[in-house]
Copies of this chain bind each other. A is one copy, B any other.
Amino acid sequence: MNKILIAGTLAFDQIETPFGKSEVIMGGAANYIAIAAAQFGVPQAVVSVVGEDYPQAFLDLLRARKVDTSAVEVVRGGKSFFWSGRYHNDMNVRDTLDTQLNVLADFKPVVPEAFRKAAIVMLGNLHPQLQLDILAQMDHKPTLVVLDTMNYWMYHTWDLLQEVIAKVDVITINDEEARQLTGEYSLVKAAQRIMAMGARFVIIKKGEHGALLFHKSQVFFAPALPLEEVFDPTGAGDTFAGGLVGYLAKSGDYSFANMKNAVVHGSNLASFCIEKFGLERMLSLSEEECNERLRRFAELTQFEIEVNT
């Protein structure tokens, strides 16, 4: 089974939605990614940093899922990364209320020895310099490097971000960010531009409107499951990425045809993530629930048309 190395934040979040306000809860990209990927029972390690205020119980939730947390630095007297945000009726839009980098400001990532040959490196949304530092520590080029990023790095670290994109195989990005990154309104043209920057696969996430996978001239679309209610979209993109890499690591097949399946698995897991605040739903998710919903995905999208030729 292929190993996954995950770089990303372990954090405290506080979230407001039209349905209510959460406590200060467990958050951060690396948590969402690792807990989603753990559905596939694959060996993972997280490279991250937390403060002394970060509960041991949160790390234990990862360890219980076979996630190596030896490369999570705990900074004495430091405070963990904190984010708070507010969603409106249109859950595709959110306001950031507060971001406190805290220990993340001086983070020097160290890839654990046992994961320097990992087949998959999942670079969660972080400063592009940290993402480059991670890649530089790998023994050789991983089979698949997957990048998540955001508009902030496009504004502030454009050159570094371009350097990262040139080194990755897959980029996951939302629709507005894809437009900002390329100056193209059309997502088809935006994806082509991003492939020209170096990524072989481009996944454009459209929130409730699903996700598009581009590779060369091919395109695949996975809808989001139509739900009665989106309770909290926080972490949906990271959960999608976790499902993607978890499934790919388990199957060891990196073809376009299998990447389609990986996108469906990612969408499937994301559809659970948004049902409750933060990681709550993901932490109670069973394999049976996953499989039942995969069948709903198939019913939702599969049809039978005979094309006259």
Q: How many copies does the complex hold?
A: 2
User: Do A220 and B299 have beta carbons less than 8 Å apart?
Assistant: yes
Q: Given the interface contacts A209-B206, A229-B186, does A218 sit within 8 Å of B301 by beta carbon?
A: no
User: Do A302 and B305 have beta carbons less than 8 Å apart?
Assistant: no
Q: Given the interface contacts A302-B302, A305-B264, A307-B291, does A188 sit within 8 Å of B220 by beta carbon?
A: no
Cβ–Cβ < 8 Å partners of A189 in chain B: 228
Q: Report the nearest B residue to A186, measured CB to CB.
A: B228
* Chain A interface, DSSP helix/strand/loop, else mixed: mixed
A83 interface residue (CB < 8 Å to B): no
User: Do A287 and B264 have beta carbons less than 8 Å apart?
Assistant: no
Q: Report the nearest B residue to A304, measured CB to CB.
A: B261
Cβ–Cβ < 8 Å partners of A220 in chain B: 299-301, 303
| CB < 8 Å neighbour of A228 from B188, B295, B300, B301 | B188
30 contacts between A and B (CB under 8 A): A89-B185, A186-B227, A186-B228, A186-B229, A188-B226, A188-B227, A188-B228, A189-B228, A206-B209, A209-B209, A209-B210, A210-B223, A212-B226, A219-B299, A219-B300, A220-B300, A220-B301, A221-B223, A221-B300, A221-B301, A222-B303, A257-B304, A260-B303, A261-B303, A261-B304, A261-B305, A265-B305, A291-B307, A294-B305, A301-B302
Q: Given the interface contacts A209-B209, A298-B305, A300-B220, does A187 sit within 8 Å of B261 by beta carbon?
A: no
A246-258 contact mask (Cβ, 8 Å, vs B): 1 or 0: 0000000000010
A116-127 contact mask (Cβ, 8 Å, vs B): 1 or 0: 000000000000
- The residues of A with any CB-CB pair to B shorter than 8 Å are 89, 185-189, 206, 209-210, 212, 218-223, 226-229, 257, 260-261, 264-265, 287, 291, 294-295, 298-305, 307-309
Chain B nearest Cβ from A66, distance in angstroms: 19
Chain B nearest Cβ from A52, distance in angstroms: 42
